[in-house]
Amino acid sequence: MKNKKGFSLIELLIVVAIIGVLSSVVLASVNDARTKAMDAVVKGSLKSIQSQAQMYYEDHSSIYAGLCSDPAVLAIFNKAIANAGVGVGYPVWGGPHPGICNDTFQFGYKGYVVYVSLKSLPQSYPSSYWCVDSTGYVGIMTNTSGGGPESLSGPELPNNCKQPNL
């Protein structure tokens, strides 16, 4: 009888295949967790903007004019944009945009709306955007009025998260 030492080629191939399958499952789970973490940053940032907006409103004669250019709000907004679903660097005109902060409404600066794309949602307007506004709403954007995030000026932008523009 001859003693065999070592593994056959088939045994080695089976072990390599099993390791490959297990590593692909682990990598998929890690990517899913990373996406959820980025979405959590966006949601938390927008909730912080909502709190900051209330302080801004009280400090600026009960108006939101200039909210989106406030340094504290801009810092939080930029953090949310960095974790947005479509990424910074997309063209300003046309195509998806990572997010909008709008405080310039045709009805006298009486509100604001901030929405940022979530990475976990399919990129379609408005259902891929997490939104907060001056009505207190926090959630997925459902307002389809205005030109969407490609229209980056005043009255064309949605002025709230849920209803058609006021």
Q: Report the run of H or E that residue 99 belongs to, with start and end.
A: strand 99-102
Displacement of CA 86 from its chain's centroid (Å): 8
Q: What is the DSSP letter of 67?
A: G
Q: Where are the domains of the chain?
A: 9-156
Three-class secondary structure of residue 102 per DSSP: strand
pLDDT on residue 124: 63
Split at pLDDT 50, 70, 90, the class of 44 is very high
Average pLDDT over residues 31-48: 90
Residues 86-124 have pLDDT tens digits of 554 443 434 556 788 888 765 555 788 888 888 887 766
The 3-state secondary structure of 111-151, one letter per residue: CCEEEEECCCCCCCCCCCEEEEECCCCEEECCCCCCCHHHC
Distance, in Å, from the CA atom of 142 to the CA atom of 59, rounded to the nearest integer, reads 30
Displacement of CA 27 from its chain's centroid (Å): 22
Length of the chain: 166
pLDDT on residue 93: 39
Q: What angle do CA 42, 61, 162 make, to 5 degrees?
A: 40
